[in-house]
Amino acid sequence: MGTVHFSELPCSDSEHKIGVARLDNASSLNALTVNMLQLLKDKLEQWQDDDNIVCVLLEGEGQKAFCAGGDVRTMHDVMRDKSESETVEYCRHFFAVEYECDYLIHTYYKPIIAWGEGIVMGGGMGLYMGSSHKVVTPSSRLAMPEIGIGLYPDVGGTWFMNRLDQGIGLFLGITGVIVNASDAIATHLADHMVLPEHKPTLLEQLQIAEWESVEDAYEVVTELLEGFAEEVESGAKPEPQLLPLFDRIQQACEGDSVIQVVDNILAIEAQSQWLDSAKHNLKTGSPITAHICYRQIRDYHDISLADCFRLELSLSVKCALLGEFQEGVRAKLVDKDGNARWKFATVADVDETLIDELFTSFWSEDKHPLSQLGHY
């Protein structure tokens, strides 16, 4: 299930090409299977070494979603039906391939335009946030909603949430709330807002650019996207939802403990359906996830990108064994009863020693499956 389609668009100088990768798992909103991730990683590595490829456009099939996340349904079935060792092996392989792909995008030598039309969530955010040019259209909806399935903001969330304005990353992770295109631009989750109909023209202009004389390919792509962004009339942009609450969100996330941060967020007063949704997600989500998210921000701000992915691979495998992740996916996506039976009733009930254990590496440094990643 699911594949990635690749094409190489010829440029007018007959030498250079634009690489286009289209995620195609439309029935699941382009959710990433391990096969899709391997295909994408292999092709991106090939294109990075091909001097004729000047930049890459990464898109999703259809207009509903760029990518709604990873294939957690299959992971749920493995966690439910397989032995502990089989679960470890499956999840280790899936997450390792995913994080290697994400790391490659973050450290790519050429511009990658992520066309974030529609839903960009979870695993889709891993691809999106590593891209050099993050595009939204007015319909885009971005989120790291893992608190609803008992996982945590992975796919490099430890890295990119820590690089948002203070408090914003913690709030988005701990509430899993959806961010619209205007707020995505304002909070630096996205770089450019353009209209969906601009994509063919963008590709045409990339094809006719004089690449043989270009010194900075990133600058060429930026200027093109900025030109399209100027054509988006204010009336086409969604009304900001986060921005009016920005200061209050930052203040709420300054608490000295996850318990205090949760209490502060729930105490924010505003007439806002968006805020109500964030509070609902927090109240009904996994208390363990809230603790993990708080630690990601509190303790791991200064580690390298590679170390973020090494940390997350261990965390993800341990979450697969814990049962919280399995139960969250069951309630949200399999049985769809919306009644997850979390291990702890509230954030205050969570045993901190359990969180300590989750953050202890599953592997020694030399045996880590991602030990080959660089030190960036």
DSSP 8-state secondary structure symbol assigned to residue 115: E
DSSP state of 238: P
- Cα 62–68–73 angle (5° rounding)? 120
- 129: confidence class by pLDDT, cuts 50, 70, 90: very high
Average pLDDT of the chain is 96
- Per residue in 57-107, pLDDT (tens digit) is 999 999 999 999 999 999 999 999 999 999 999 999 999 999 999 999 999
At residue 188's C-alpha, the angle toward residues 187 and 193, to 5°, is: 100
Architecture (CATH level 2) of domain 3-367 = Alpha-Beta Complex (3.90)
Question: Are the C-beta atoms of residues 286 and 354 closer than 8 Å to each other?
Answer: no
H or E element in which residue 8 lies: strand 3-10
- Residue from 98, 149, 150, 107 nearest 125 by CA: 98
In this prediction the pTM is 0.96
Distance in angstroms (rounded) separating the CA atoms of residues 215 and 194: 25
Cα gap 150→152, rounded to integer Å: 7
* pLDDT value at residue 234: 86
Give Cα 270 to chain centroid, integer Å: 28
pLDDT, tens digit (0-9, with 9 covering 90-100), for 30-60: 999 999 999 999 999 999 999 999 999 999 9
Query: Residue 146 — pLDDT band, cuts 50, 70, 90?
Result: very high
Give pLDDT tens digits for 204-229. 999 999 999 989 999 999 999 999 99
